[in-house]
């Protein structure tokens, strides 16, 4: 009874702001575009049949989001490891906040900065001076990837840092005591025991990337197009709500599938059911 | 000193400082092959630090630790022929029991065939009576079972030295005494040198054949359990190992007459090898005879029983003696004719002076560490 009362507000909030809109999106996705734009009731699979028209956005998102998350991971793990294990405990909090502080300025501003750096008057200009002319950085998948790693790094570092931080140092000593080279200790003990943090980071970054809109827009130009961009376009520009809804529903289905698979893998590797993804 | 090869562990003037804190000061120690050494001392006296220097987790600030005759300065833990049972076991949570025990064997180069690993792990689990538990997860094991997994995980590698840091501290009393016997039996059978850290003096006395009493980072006494108990080197050891009663007194110039605070004189039997002057007499509770009824002129000291603690096979009495203070007396039930003395009753206390130990008063008792008094 008390539990029900405590959970009540949260449940109501979820229903109003998450479940209801999601049902609306599902309903929309089976409808038709009204002549003047928006939604008009119908029951048709035409929107889903038309998904192919945005195949490029799907392809870009579904390749660059996981690749971006992996690239983030490769950069974040050593940083998190250094912060949690190697750094002097007295400076640890300062270093961790240095990781977070850039997050306090607007993502838009920071991405604009990269746009300038990668654009004609930025790095390519410098390269031109030393003899490499006509290097194109902006509006390439590489630029989008760079923006992703830069923008999402703290989200990957923090959960890994947390799981490495609470890793029992005596386990590492026990491993060394049993004859394991530091290398084997790292891959046999440290990495598996930090997997919950790694999985949380990957899930967090991947899910947010699937809806990413700003980075492809600014650093990818019109060329590297994400699902997020397609949605903005369909809902705000061409006002084709049913088609946008169908894309959104498909995206959610893909995310859920990715999550389920990720959890399976995490359970298998960590050998326990106590992997919390979120 | 002696031939290094017969000693499994040797400390040569080892000092370990953590910044301003000196955890271990200038310790020299030899542990013969196959010995069961107990490092005994109050909290913070440097026991764990000594053990960690043998394991390679800490490097001495000065001096050197030798294992089986070779110097270990700069040798990392994974290249030392020792294994450790950690205080809270430090079992790997993501492995099951079998994988935990196999971990050390898997690290060996040249590689050991999987078949052989499986066999040796099985044997090790049998040895600690966990035969049916190979596939259990660690968090499904009780404290005592985890303790035995930790033991099997260390012993399966056949180290020349096994280090144990308070391995039984987390177990209940009954399980603890069962494990004490098991550990002792295992040590005898395997012939491996054991170094056990404990702050439980009973555990040290009952299990080890060599007890090293430490205080304030220094060794106070090293010897067989019986020696340490019967012939404590100083007041600290007398107090820390077993229970002791003290009488502050003055030793006269003849070296055998003790002037007690109540004015009486006590002949301590033979001449003692300490200077005249302020002296502390230490006497074990079980060395004191307690006789009911207190005629004031009888032999020994007259006193009044203030407390009685019934322990089953023995009884502990607190007896207040005017001018001398409180005494703790242990009476063995098998010799007291079943007669319990009631609190409030008058009694007489007597002891054989030969059973008493005399220490110069400058060795003032500081049982909680920090005694910097020189060793006798
Ligand atoms: N890593 C460290 N940094 C600073 N001081 C330390 C460190 N480890 C131990 N010390 C200090 O060294 C002294 C000895 O510590 P040690 O752990 O060896 O004691 P111990 O005899 O094992 O005590 P206990 O019975 O409480 O485990 C203590 O004063 C302790 O505070
Ligand atoms: Mg300790």
Looking at the structure, do residues B243 and B108 belong to the same domain, yes or no? Answer: no
Long-range CB contacts (within 8 A, 24+) of B14-22: B14/B50, B14/B53, B14/B60, B14/B62, B14/B63, B14/B64, B14/B65, B15/B60, B15/B61, B15/B62, B15/B63, B16/B46, B16/B49, B16/B53, B16/B58, B16/B60, B16/B61, B17/B61, B22/B217
**% of chain A exceeding 70 in pLDDT:** 95
Residue B369 belongs to a domain: no
Q: Which of B214, B230, B246 is the last residue of a domain?
A: B230
Looking at the structure, do residues B92 and B111 belong to the same domain, yes or no? Answer: yes
R_g over Cα of chain B: 25
Looking at the structure, do residues B27 and B132 belong to the same domain, yes or no? Answer: yes
Q: How many CB atoms lie within 10 A of CB B180?
A: 19
Q: How many residues does chain A have?
A: 278
- Write down the pTM of the prediction: 0.81
The closest alpha carbon to B350, from B264, B277, B275, belongs to B264
Lookup result for tokens 């004859």: A179
Among A35-39, A165-169, B131-135, B179-183, name the one with the lowest average pLDDT.
A35-39
In this predicted structure, the answer to whether residue A272 has a pLDDT above a threshold of 50 is yes
pLDDT values of chain B reduced to their tens digit, one per residue, 376 residues: 444 457 889 999 999 999 999 999 999 999 999 999 999 999 999 999 999 999 999 999 999 999 999 999 999 999 999 999 998 899 999 999 999 999 999 999 899 999 999 999 999 999 888 999 999 999 999 988 999 999 999 999 999 999 999 988 878 888 888 889 989 999 999 999 999 999 889 999 999 999 999 999 999 999 999 999 999 999 999 999 989 999 888 888 887 888 888 888 888 877 777 878 888 999 999 999 888 876 666 678 889 999 999 888 889 999 999 888 899 999 888 776 667 888 998 898 988 888 889 898 754 444 433 333 333 3
Count the domains in chain B: 2
Q: How far apart are CA A255 and CA B38, in angstroms?
A: 59
- Beta bridge mates, B235: none
Looking at the structure, do residues B170 and B244 belong to the same domain, yes or no? Answer: no
Q: How many residues does chain B have?
A: 376
* Residue B57 belongs to domain with CATH number: 3.40.50.300
Q: How far apart are CA A68 and CA A73, in angstroms?
A: 8
pLDDT of residue A60: 86
Residue B351 belongs to a domain: yes
Looking at the structure, do residues B153 and B38 belong to the same domain, yes or no? Answer: yes
Would you say B26 and B179 are in contact if contact means Cβ atoms under 8 Å apart? no
Please name the residue of chain B whose CA is at the shortest distance from the CA of residue A184. Answer: B107
pLDDT of residue A8: 81
* Residue-range definition of the domain harbouring residue B248: 235-360
Residue B370 belongs to a domain: no
Q: Say which of B77, B93, B137 has its CB closest to residue A177.
A: B77
Looking at the structure, do residues B37 and B179 belong to the same domain, yes or no? Answer: yes
* Chain B residues within 8 A of A184 when measuring between CB atoms: 107
pLDDT of residue B5: 55
Is the Cα dihedral A224, A230, A236, A239 positive or negative? Answer: positive
Looking at the structure, do residues B262 and B204 belong to the same domain, yes or no? Answer: no
For residue B306, CA distances in Å to A217, B335, B338 come to 88, 22, 19
Which pLDDT band holds residue A123 (cuts at 50, 70, 90)?
confident
Looking at the structure, do residues B55 and B182 belong to the same domain, yes or no? Answer: yes
More confident residue, B371 or A144: A144
pLDDT of residue A234: 87
The closest alpha carbon to B376, from B280, B287, B286, B283, belongs to B280
pLDDT of residue A135: 76
**Any CB–CB contact under 8 A between A169 and chain B?**
no
Residue B95 belongs to a domain: yes
pLDDT of residue A107: 82
Query: Ligand 1 centroid to B43 CA: how many Å?
Result: 8
Q: How many CB atoms lie within 10 A of CB B284?
A: 21
3-state secondary structure of A17: helix
Query: Ligand 2 centroid to B188 CA: how many Å?
Result: 25
* Residue B276 belongs to domain with CATH number: 2.40.50.140
Residue B367 belongs to a domain: no
Q: Which of B199, B230, B261 is the last residue of a domain?
A: B230
Looking at the structure, do residues B110 and B183 belong to the same domain, yes or no? Answer: yes
pLDDT of residue B215: 95
Residue B331 belongs to a domain: yes
Q: How far apart are CA B244 and CA B231, in angstroms?
A: 12
Looking at the structure, do residues B32 and B156 belong to the same domain, yes or no? Answer: yes
Q: From the CA of B22, give the closest atom in ligand 1.
A: 12
pLDDT digit string, tens, across residues A210-254: 888 888 888 888 777 888 888 888 888 888 889 999 999 998 898
Please name the residue of chain A whose CA is at the shortest distance from the CA of residue B156. Answer: A178
Would you kindly state where each structural domain of chain A is located, as residue ranges?
55-270
**Any CB–CB contact under 8 A between A90 and chain B?**
no
Lookup result for tokens 């899930």: A203
Choose which CATH entry (1.10.3720.10, 2.60.120.380, 3.10.580.20, 2.30.110.10) describes domain A55-270. 1.10.3720.10
């Amino acid at each position: 009874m008390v539990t029900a009362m405590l959970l009540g507000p949260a449940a109501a909030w979820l229903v109003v702001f998450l479940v209801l809109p999601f049902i609306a999106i599902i309903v929309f996705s089976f409808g038709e575009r009204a002549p003047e734009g928006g939604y008009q009731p119908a029951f048709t699979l035409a929107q889903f049949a038309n998904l192919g028209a945005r195949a490029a956005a799907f392809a870009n998102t579904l390749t660059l989001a996981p690749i971006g998350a992996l690239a983030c991971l490769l950069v974040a793990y050593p940083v998190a490891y250094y912060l949690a294990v190697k750094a002097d405990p007295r400076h640890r909090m300062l270093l961790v906040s240095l990781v977070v502080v850039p997050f306090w300025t607007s993502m838009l501003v920071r991405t604009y900065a990269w746009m300038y750096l990668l654009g004609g008057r930025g790095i390519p200009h410098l390269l031109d001076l030393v003899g490499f002319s006509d290097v194109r950085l902006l509006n390439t998948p590489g630029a989008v990837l760079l923006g992703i790693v830069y923008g999402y790094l703290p989200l990957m570092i923090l959960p890994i840092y947390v799981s490495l931080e609470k890793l029992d140092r005596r386990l590492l000593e026990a491993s060394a005591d049993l004859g394991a080279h530091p290398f084997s200790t790292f891959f046999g003990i440290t990495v598996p025991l930090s997997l919950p943090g790694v999985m949380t980071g990957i899930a967090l970054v991947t899910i947010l990337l699937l809806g990413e809109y700003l980075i492809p827009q600014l650093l990818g130009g019109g060329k590297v197009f994400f699902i997020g961009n397609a949605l903005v376009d369909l809902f705000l520009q061409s006002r084709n709500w049913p088609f946008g809804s169908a894309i959104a529903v498909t995206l959610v289905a893909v995310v859920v599938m990715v999550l389920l698979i990720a959890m399976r893998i995490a359970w298998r590797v960590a050998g326990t059911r106590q992997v919390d993804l979120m | 000193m002696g031939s290094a090869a017969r000693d499994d562990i040797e400390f040569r003037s080892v000092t370990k400082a953590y910044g301003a804190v000196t955890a271990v000061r200038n310790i020299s120690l030899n542990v013969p092959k196959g010995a069961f050494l107990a490092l005994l001392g109050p909290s913070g006296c440097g026991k764990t630090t000594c053990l960690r220097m043998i394991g390679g987790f800490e490097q001495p600030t000065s001096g050197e630790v030798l294992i089986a005759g070779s110097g270990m300065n700069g040798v990392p833990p994974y290249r030392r022929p020792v294994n450790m049972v950690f205080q809270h076991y430090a079992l790997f949570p993501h492995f099951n029991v079998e994988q935990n025990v196999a971990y050390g064997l898997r690290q060996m180069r040249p590689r050991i065939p999987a078949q052989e690993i499986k066999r040796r792990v099985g044997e090790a689990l049998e040895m600690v009576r966990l035969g049916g538990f190979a596939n259990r997860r660690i968090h499904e094991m009780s404290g005592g079972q985890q303790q035995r997994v930790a033991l099997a995980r260390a012993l399966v590698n056949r180290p020349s030295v096994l280090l144990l840091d308070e391995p039984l501290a987390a177990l209940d009393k009954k399980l603890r005494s069962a494990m004490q016997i098991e550990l002792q039996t295992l040590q005898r059978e395997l012939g491996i040198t054991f170094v056990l850290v404990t702050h439980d003096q009973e555990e040290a006395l009952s299990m080890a054949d060599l007890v090293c009493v430490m205080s304030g980072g220094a060794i106070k006494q090293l010897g067989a359990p019986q020696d340490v108990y019967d012939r404590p080197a100083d007041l600290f050891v007398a107090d820390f190992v077993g229970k002791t009663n003290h009488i502050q007194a003055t030793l006269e110039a003849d070296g055998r007459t003790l002037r007690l605070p109540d004015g009486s004189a006590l002949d301590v039997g033979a001449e003692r090898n300490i200077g005249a002057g302020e002296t502390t007499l230490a006497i074990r509770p079980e060395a004191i005879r307690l006789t009911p009824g207190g005629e004031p002129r009888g032999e020994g000291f007259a006193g009044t029983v203030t407390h009685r603690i019934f322990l089953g096979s023995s009884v502990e009495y607190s007896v207040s003696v005017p001018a001398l203070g409180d005494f703790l007396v242990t009476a063995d039930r098998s010799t007291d004719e079943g007669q319990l003395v009631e609190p409030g009753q008058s009694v007489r206390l007597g002891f054989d002076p030969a059973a008493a130990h005399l220490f110069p008063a400058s060795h003032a008792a500081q049982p909680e560490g920090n005694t910097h008094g020189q060793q006798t």
